[in-house]
Structure 1
């Protein structure tokens, strides 16, 4: 029998394995291919040519990127699941499941009977590429990340569905002084959660589990997180010695079934396939010749502030600091905006150390000649830096950027700022920031997006950006997520596109993302006539040119585009007109010290992950808190209807006059039960059941039911239900009541009154996917509450059939339930009226939170209501106002009850000068994709601001805070303007 060669070509690595007749490993290699998979495979085979030349061998290719190579070279191919299964069956019999993580692929293979494979689809969150991205973000190598993780003390919740979500979670933790060791372990935990939640899809992982693939082979910290999470012992967690190239070994085993060929002939076929080129979709160039580029540069370079020589200047100066998500920017200015000193650098996860170093440098340069009269700070790290160095003021980014833009173009009516992973766009109307758009969950239109690709291709970002300027055939990469784009870039490379063409294509795709995904512009006129662009990403001339080409108009890019936030903060410091700044002086900086430690606050149910920052002299600053309780202050008790409704519903537990003689009936406290609980509670207590509500939602409760969730993309409120029903089973109830409801009550304000499909039919999904429900009676009948008589008749029959309850008794209970529901609705409306009266008596602004009934759940809203009321707002909800407007036709089909309420509430807000809307949207909500545009249209046409808060299972409120503060700044500006 001849030697067998297996080649596993993955998304980031090539593994080559040679087996002898006895299945003994003669050769193995594992190397990154940097998108040059064919060349790498050829080089590895050439390195063993002296051993194999002249021999007959059997060769098979496998792997996610292997099929194209196999086809081009005419070499046999075997699907990687079969290859992996062959190796596992040969070397580790009795395996129950395999978890394999690769560069961009993650898969779980279940053994036992037929092979069943679950694989990641469109997202590479939770794979090697994700870990690489996170290591880059933290400015460490992957091996250093691994070493750090082994010294962790606590785990933060981090999203791993996408590198971008994760960055949004990690960055504030680092900016607020969280330990790198804890963040490193949290990154690995996020990978575990993504794999378990995203791939098991309701099937339990148990028995003997084999872990394969590069990340699980090389990263001990990742192994530790998997073993702990899945609670495996040494017998059940198997990490094979050659786990990094197991699929390659499997391919070599499968080669036994294929024909022999001379080794040299196979190598020649692979060598010839290297030059095989496919077709590339291209676009027109950014610049046709160097002269066009020179004219473009001359136009933009004219926009610059006066340069002042800091060593010759004497007088007053003002300092602005922008502690951004990935970079720290500083600007020291004169009274007329002249620049004395600027700084722009990655904050390396430690903004305090960088600001300290720069302040020392500024004092050294200033000597006794320059007096700093004021210092202001903006950005993600605003609170931390302000407290650390006693800055005079903090301001929200949107205002800082507007200050700076107005300095260069007094007529500015649209500002777009693209930073490392944030995109902020503001419309300016009548001298005030009017509407604010931020990228939600995707940073594929941001600077870190290009930087990731530049690094992957071996360039720094500046070189990479220049490459594309004069490329004649930019590749059309579309406008997609970073990870998808990875695949597009790799495909373009395989098809022969040059790095220059790819660089230009990425710059164009960034712009398409910004214009069509974040701003959602239908045309350039939607943006404005006087557009100012800023943020580090617009230093990239290719992105700037693509932006102007896409809009068909010239825009203003100041030469200090990257430090506009700091410049705007410095202008704000100047406008304070202080005699003396409170900023720490040079002497104080010499004794400055900073330590940070993580703690969990247990003063309320939020359980915030706090970071305690301690500075010299015992000064302390707490970050990560969502209320002021850890600071020793009681929560601001401004009227809050979300909080009122939640407490009222929760308080039903243990109330009621049900004697419990008919048993204990469990009701899961989630989704539409926030709407219908008063009805069902009255119904069952009237029938003498004891009603048991599931516990309050929490992260822990979510994890309890996580293994039974079959869909990774359904909204978080639905995912929580799995934990709720499991908790009811554990509580030993006699039955769980959770009916399917296609329709909600008809309030006469929409074209129809459906529940969304998830709310309507989730009980059926739970019945099919939660094995624990087999231990109790799970009652999920279809009911229609809006047809009173029909419901009464049907439920009477059902209660008779199920519990032998007389029909007359059930009919009376149904009538009592309708009364209880009406009383609850009336109470919410009356309380809303009282809160509005309170706000007006105390001259307080009112925020109307438009969402779904379940958005009042603190685990779902993450304390957004506390954040809003802490800024001095009174908070009411859409259902307290929706009845005040009648039916009106909408541009969209208005068929969902909860959305109809939001439209009506928005219409009512447009008639009230002291109200603004904040719309709460859960990620994964299909119907809200339409609702959001309609809400924006109602509010903007009514002269109101539109603010949307997207919420997921991760509770970092950084972006929420920016939005709420920006809304406040816009409201203030309007007040001054109209006042």
Structure 2
């Protein structure tokens, strides 16, 4: 019988199957560690006895198979087509196929119209994503699977990109969350990404066939898919040959081809192709030769700190701890600022244990001849470590790094710190912080960016980084996100690039990402001349050299670049001037125990996911809160908060029973600000107005299945849940108009709504099948012109709802316009009250500026309450924008909400003790315009620009750092102004 060979060369694995007719003779599944051609040849060699002496047909498939096919001349079949061939032959009653590979994800709908969808250049929600997360937890994928079986709760974790997810997981680890809960949350994130990123609004139902390695080997992932999609055992099929589906389909495709091969010919094609090289684009080498490298090393070796033998030292010591996103660093300083002890290592997902072990070691070395006089902690795990070990003080990261940088260069004017997942950079002007920039959720310019690739190629990061120092042809990989970069690296490998070339290229890419994507500098010259760089990533000489080459001049990299946070914290602890530190004593340390339990706070509507950490003696620390309530600490004063004020006004609305029916209004996007208008209008017409529930994570999940794009902003995605909420309330009709224009406030060149806000009702109707079975009203209307509105709404109501006299409609319209105007005046009045309160009580004020719908607690994730917990007055942009003349900006100012941003930014520059924080939703394209303009307005007026990006994930770790850094900078600037 005829032999056929199917080869599936995926992004991370090679699968080979050999069939004789319908009989499976051979199957093999193995990771290729980017050595795709060599590994394919090795597997074929294992099947030599089956193939030698016989002719066979063969084909290649897979995301990394196309280059191999071109190089060998062997027929190629697209992997989605190959999957379809296998399913049609062996599981023809399948309705939907979901296949997850290493970096590829596919979904094929067979019932209701054949449709195939595949991920693009993003590997979020795939096997590579799971590998990265397992590495973060310091476990294997198999161990991750076993952990997930014993979960108690599920945390929301971003899945569209591995680096986003790390930014969510690491703070959970630092707060003491259970690994079992994080493990299952990782699997749930993969499921969510499949539903939103691949299905994109099309329902997954019927018999679902799950294929690919991750879905075969990981039982926890199987369970999450079954439970989330509500599939029975009969409808959720995980076949034994699941990992080989593409290879099987490829062998079926091969049967139809004319060309045959012998074993010797086929193997020769594979092995010879492995030596092909077609690389043409490369960059200038990092170093010309070893002599230039030695000169480089000697220059940077001058920025050092003296060490002192702790065994021979007698006196006081100061401890600094930096519990970072992926590593824990500790420094013990002598009275004269010499290092007595230092530690730098991965926190292995358990920073409390690491710190305990290191404190035991320090006390052992200190004996009775070194007295601990001060201690301070900084980093993501600051609160947890401070409470666990009674550390004297906590210090926000930016201030710790500033203290450390000044130690090496008192004239420093720009500090760039690149850690595992975090970039902190700030300008120093007049010896105080002038502006602060941190990455929010993307770590493409961070150490984990290189570490990810190092591990994927089978190297530790230090070995991999050194490979690139003397590469003659560094690959130009540009500046892209980590998972996007995967495709560039794979292509470079196909073109013959060596590991050395890729290592050098990645070092250069990290630098470009940091400068042009995070700092968003128009040119490298903007970074200043007296630069200090720090963080573990700059211990990589390739990254440091790339940075200097991009800048065009030398920088200072302290020899303790990876310890700067801990070093700064130790210096800060000296300034406390304590005789003896309160840090845990050796006896208590020996008896120290730590347990963690997850729960949900019921203190307010935020419903925060809390972790209750219990320490020896019954001491407790509750982490994960977005305000001070869960900690049992009462606020010293109830400061004004306009976010809370506006939300409470909405919650207080009550509609009487109507004679003309119940009309539902979704509580999201522009309908939040226009609610006073529509609520009054329909109530006056005799309708009972029913609002959708206040947004929550659960509300979002109810509508998640119908979201057609994962790149839409979170406020838009929530609208699907609001529609589901209204449908569940059994309203007679749902009213959600399309509105190209907003109210004309006469402050801008025009008064458009953004396209998403204006036309999302159309999208909802097109993607939510349920809306075809209810009365969904989405007319095109405009409130900016009363005459036009009265005519258009009369015609629409009379045609679509019922006949209502025009006089009654005009009267209701008049009342609605009055209600909207009064609502706006009430907000301004409350704003004046808040500003007066801040002035009378000598408090700081933050203008938390964004869109009106950012008052939604599920969108802002309690950021307003977090700011209030610091005793800061919070006002909104619409409460102060009218207090200055309309601003002239460099761009076409045609959006109402944008005009408010610009005006409120200008107002902030006229006030003391006031700053602006801009809220930006991920996926908001037009905010790319506002961020630059708002920054220019603020900085030209001597203020600092702070931006917070928000999406469906509610981790506020980075947000808290931004806010605390801003407050510290305000305090320091104020102190220096009064000196």
Any stretches of 5+ residues in structure 2 without a counterpart? none
Aligned residue in 1 for 2:83:
84
CA distance in 1, matches of 2:863, 2:761: 28
Contact 2:55 2:260 in 1 (8 A): yes
Contact 2:606 2:862 in 1 (8 A): yes
Aligned residue in 2 for 1:660:
658
Aligned residue in 1 for 2:568:
568
Aligned residue in 1 for 2:640:
639
Aligned residue in 1 for 2:330:
330
CA distance in 1, matches of 2:704, 2:634: 34
Contact 1:796 1:808 in 2 (8 A): no
Aligned residue in 2 for 1:699:
697
Contact 1:62 1:251 in 2 (8 A): yes
Aligned residue in 2 for 1:903:
902
Contact 2:332 2:341 in 1 (8 A): yes
Contact 1:285 1:471 in 2 (8 A): yes
CA distance in 2, matches of 1:633, 1:540: 44
Aligned residue in 2 for 1:829:
828
Question: 5 Å matches for 1:253-268?
Answer: 253-264=252-263, 265-268=265-268
CA distance in 2, matches of 1:36, 1:280: 20
Aligned residue in 1 for 2:766:
768
CA distance in 2, matches of 1:434, 1:612: 37
Matched, 1:780 2:778: yes
Deviations 1:799-833 (A, max 9, x none): 22221111111111111110000000000001100
CA distance in 2, matches of 1:112, 1:520: 47
- What displacement does 1:458 show? 1.7
Contact 1:105 1:120 in 2 (8 A): yes
- What displacement does 1:78 show? 1.6
Deviations 1:434-493 (A, max 9, x none): 211111221111111111111111221111111111112111111111112122112111
CA distance in 1, matches of 2:473, 2:974: 51
Contact 2:61 2:247 in 1 (8 A): yes
Which range moved further: 440-449 or 536-545?
440-449
Matched, 1:430 2:448: no
- What displacement does 1:499 show? 1.1
CA distance in 1, matches of 2:290, 2:45: 43
Matched, 1:181 2:187: no
- What displacement does 1:44 show? 1.5
Contact 2:86 2:246 in 1 (8 A): yes
- What displacement does 1:857 show? 0.3
Question: 5 Å matches for 1:426-505?
Answer: 426-505=426-505
Any stretches of 5+ residues in structure 1 without a counterpart? none
Contact 1:280 1:475 in 2 (8 A): no
- What displacement does 1:634 show? 4.6
Contact 2:83 2:249 in 1 (8 A): yes
CA distance in 2, matches of 1:508, 1:316: 43
CA distance in 2, matches of 1:922, 1:558: 37
CA distance in 2, matches of 1:577, 1:875: 35
Which range moved further: 219-228 or 626-635?
626-635
Contact 1:742 1:755 in 2 (8 A): yes
Contact 2:887 2:902 in 1 (8 A): no
Aligned residue in 1 for 2:128:
129
Which range moved further: 318-327 or 793-802?
793-802
Aligned residue in 2 for 1:724:
722
Matched, 1:244 2:247: no
Aligned residue in 1 for 2:706:
708
Contact 2:344 2:563 in 1 (8 A): yes
Deviations 1:585-633 (A, max 9, x none): 1111111111111111122221111111111111111111112222334
CA distance in 2, matches of 1:469, 1:162: 29
Deviations 1:399-452 (A, max 9, x none): 000000011111111100000010100111112122111112211111111111
Secondary structure of residue in 2 paired with 1:555? coil
- What displacement does 1:724 show? 0.5
Question: 5 Å matches for 1:283-362?
Answer: 283-362=283-362
Contact 1:419 1:535 in 2 (8 A): yes
Deviations 1:559-586 (A, max 9, x none): 1110000010001100111122111111
Contact 1:405 1:532 in 2 (8 A): yes
CA distance in 2, matches of 1:270, 1:729: 58
Contact 1:797 1:807 in 2 (8 A): no
Deviations 1:754-786 (A, max 9, x none): 100000000110111111112221111111111
- What displacement does 1:268 show? 2.7
- What displacement does 1:56 show? 2.1
CA distance in 2, matches of 1:158, 1:911: 40
Secondary structure of residue in 1 paired with 2:919? strand
Equivalent residue in structure 2 for 1:790, among 788, 791, 800: 788
- What displacement does 1:113 show? 5.9
CA distance in 2, matches of 1:200, 1:551: 44
Aligned residue in 2 for 1:759:
757
CA distance in 1, matches of 2:685, 2:664: 14
Which range moved further: 634-643 or 922-931?
634-643
CA distance in 2, matches of 1:524, 1:503: 22
CA distance in 2, matches of 1:32, 1:192: 23
Aligned residue in 1 for 2:626:
626
Deviations 1:230-250 (A, max 9, x none): 111111001111100011111
Deviations 1:263-316 (A, max 9, x none): 233333223322222224101111111111111111110111122111111111
- What displacement does 1:331 show? 0.6
- What displacement does 1:260 show? 4.5
Deviations 1:23-52 (A, max 9, x none): 121111111111122222222222222222
Aligned residue in 1 for 2:158:
159
Question: 5 Å matches for 1:548-587?
Answer: 548-587=548-587
Cα RMSD (Å): 1.2
- What displacement does 1:114 show? 4.5
Aligned residue in 2 for 1:103:
102
- What displacement does 1:152 show? 1.1
Contact 1:726 1:773 in 2 (8 A): no
- What displacement does 1:109 show? 0.4
Contact 1:538 1:544 in 2 (8 A): yes
CA distance in 2, matches of 1:251, 1:352: 50
Question: 5 Å matches for 1:927-942?
Answer: 927-942=926-941
CA distance in 2, matches of 1:319, 1:272: 59
CA distance in 2, matches of 1:51, 1:909: 77
CA distance in 1, matches of 2:168, 2:837: 37
Aligned residue in 2 for 1:690:
688
Question: 5 Å matches for 1:358-377?
Answer: 358-377=358-377
- What displacement does 1:360 show? 1.1
Secondary structure of residue in 2 paired with 1:791? helix
Contact 1:799 1:810 in 2 (8 A): no
- What displacement does 1:715 show? 0.2
- Against the structure 1 CA distance between its residues 633 and 364, is the aligned structure 2 distance closer, same or farther, given a 3 Å change threshold? closer
Secondary structure of residue in 2 paired with 1:940? helix
Secondary structure of residue in 1 paired with 2:949? strand
Number of residue pairs the alignment of both structures matches: 975
- What displacement does 1:251 show? 1.2
CA distance in 1, matches of 2:4, 2:377: 64
Secondary structure of residue in 1 paired with 2:948? strand
Matched, 1:799 2:797: yes
CA distance in 1, matches of 2:887, 2:386: 49
- Against the structure 1 CA distance between its residues 280 and 153, is the aligned structure 2 distance closer, same or farther, given a 3 Å change threshold? farther
CA distance in 1, matches of 2:62, 2:114: 18
Deviations 1:306-334 (A, max 9, x none): 22111111111111111111111111112
Secondary structure of residue in 2 paired with 1:714? coil
Secondary structure of residue in 2 paired with 1:468? helix
Matched, 1:960 2:950: no
Q: TM-score, normalised by structure 2?
A: 0.98
Contact 1:800 1:807 in 2 (8 A): no
Contact 1:399 1:433 in 2 (8 A): no
CA distance in 2, matches of 1:252, 1:747: 66
- Against the structure 1 CA distance between its residues 659 and 614, is the aligned structure 2 distance closer, same or farther, given a 3 Å change threshold? closer
Matched, 1:650 2:648: no
Q: TM-score, normalised by structure 1?
A: 0.98
CA distance in 1, matches of 2:975, 2:108: 63
CA distance in 2, matches of 1:637, 1:221: 45
